[in-house]
Amino acid sequence: WPDEFDSGLSSAWKPYNNTYGDGNNELACLTPDNVSVRDGSLRIDARRERVTCPDGSEREFSSGFLGT
C-alpha cells in the first residue's frame, strides 16, 4: 500500500526505541531520533556514535525502527 509523508508520519507509523536483533549481535541501538520526514520522504538514518540503549547496553552505532 502506498503511504505519503507530505505532512509527516501518519498515525499508522510509530518510531520505537529498540535493541531488536540482540540474538544476532546487532551493533546498533534503534532510536526514534534517527527517524524523520523531510520534503515528503521518510528518512531512517544510521550513525556511528556511542549510544546507551533503553536496556542500559552501550552500542557504537544507532539507527531507526518503525512499527505499524
Contact 47, 60 (CB under 8 A): no
pLDDT tens series, the chain, 68 aa:
678 888 888 888 999 887 765 667 778 899 999 999 998 899 999 999 999 888 888 899 999 989 88
The pLDDT, as a whole number, for residue 56 is: 87
Which pLDDT score is estimated for 33?
92
User: Which pLDDT score, from 0 to 100, does residue 22 have?
Assistant: 64
Helix-strand-coil percent breakdown of the chain, rounded to 5? Answer: 10, 40, 50
Cell triple for 4: 505519503
What pLDDT, on the 0 to 100 scale, is given for residue 54? 82
